[in-house]
């Protein structure tokens, strides 16, 4: 089973995808985690990300497919967070998966209002070491450091108000076309992401279980 999870910045893609990956033993792929790793040694990528821009799409696909080829070459049981987010990325991913005799089974679209994502992003914290996601209002760590690894909790550089504005703008300019394509391929499931984390997760678990049975 291969699943794409998409939605606006701060909609909870990472939060939900990580839980689903654990529950269903999926390989969790986060394009944001990959680019954050790349940015450590590449000032150009770092500068694009800090401003809230996107990595040029063709280049991004090369990074992603090369990473997946090394880390999840069977092209199955993967949950994709943050990639694809443009139609050309979707086409390339589909081609890669199908080239391995597999398919994309489901695309979960987390629908969350802009006001809500801005609120969530402004109180997000991330572990600088392992990338675990927290929120000072809704998803607190038990202490001052990461519960998982004891790492320092930081604000993402691209969570500044100016970068979030740009990220939302880029999201809004591209999402419609991707949604249309996923709908045409009969993969799209819209989920109300404007609810409490566990409530959303319960629905997603039910959804995946229904796909597993078929």
| Contact set for ligand AP5, span 88-127 (CB under 6 A) | 89, 120, 124
Annotated binding residues, written as ranges, equal 10-15, 31, 36, 53-55, 82-85, 89, 124, 127, 130, 133-134, 146, 149, 156, 167, 195
Query: Which residues in 4-63 contact ligand AP5 (CB under 6 A)?
Result: 7, 9-15, 31-32, 35, 48-49, 52-55, 60
If DSSP states are collapsed to H, E and C, what string results for the chain? CCEEEECCCCCCHHHHHHHHHHHHCCEEEEHHHHHHHHHCCCHHHHHHHHCCCCCCHHHHHHHHHHHHHHHCCCCCCEEEECCCCCHHHHHHHHHHHHHCCCCCCEEEEEECCHHHHHHHHHCEEEECCCCCEEECCCECCCCCECCCCCCEEECCHHHCHHHHHHHHHHHHHHHHHHHHHHHHCCCEEEEECCCCHHHHHHHHHHHHHHHHHC
The two structure tokens encoding residue 59: 């280049």
Do residues 107 and 181 touch, judged by C-beta distance below 8 A? no
> Which residue, 75 or 117, has its beta carbon nearer to ligand AP5?
117
Residue numbers at the binding site for Mg ion (CB under 5 A):
14, 32
Number of residues in contact with ligand AP5 under rule CB under 6 A? 34
**Closer to Mg ion at the Cβ: 14 or 84?**
14
Q: How far is the CB of 14 from Mg ion (least distance, A)?
A: 3
Smallest distance from ligand AP5 to CB 52, Å: 6
* Contact partner at residue 131 from ligand AP5, Mg ion, none, CB < 5 to 8 Å by partner kind: none
Q: Contact 77/184 with Cβ under 8 angstroms?
A: no
**54 binds, options ligand AP5, Mg ion, none, Cβ within 5 to 8 A by partner type:** ligand AP5
Would you count residue 178 as binding ligand AP5 (CB under 6 A)? no
Contacting residues toward ligand AP5, per CB under 6 A: 7, 9-15, 31-32, 35, 48-49, 52-55, 60, 82-83, 85, 89, 120, 124, 133-135, 138-139, 158, 167, 196-197, 200
């Amino acid at each position: 089973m291969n699943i794409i999870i998409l939605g606006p910045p701060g909609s909870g893609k990472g939060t939900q995808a990580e839980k689903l990956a654990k529950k269903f033993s999926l390989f969790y792929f986060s394009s944001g985690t990959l680019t954050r790793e790349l940015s450590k040694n590449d000032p150009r990528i770092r500068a694009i990300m800090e401003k809230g821009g996107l990595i040029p799409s063709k280049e991004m696909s090369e990074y992603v497919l090369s990473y997946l080829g090394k880390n999840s070459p069977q092209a199955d049981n993967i949950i994709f967070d943050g990639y694809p987010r443009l139609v050309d990325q979707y086409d390339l991913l589909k081609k890669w998966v199908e080239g391995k005799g597999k398919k994309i089974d489901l695309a979960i679209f987390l629908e969350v209002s802009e006001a809500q994502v801005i609120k969530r992003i402004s109180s997000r914290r991330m572990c600088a070491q392992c990338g675990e996601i927290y929120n000072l209002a809704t998803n607190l760590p038990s202490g001052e450091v990461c519960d998982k690894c004891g790492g320092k909790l930081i604000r993402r550089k691209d969570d500044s108000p100016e970068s979030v504005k740009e990220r939302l703008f880029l999201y809004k300019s591209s999402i419609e076309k991707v949604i249309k394509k996923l709908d045409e391929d009969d993969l799209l499931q819209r989920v109300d992401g404007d609810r409490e984390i566990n409530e959303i997760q319960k629905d997603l678990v039910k959804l995946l279980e229904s796909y597993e049975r078929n």
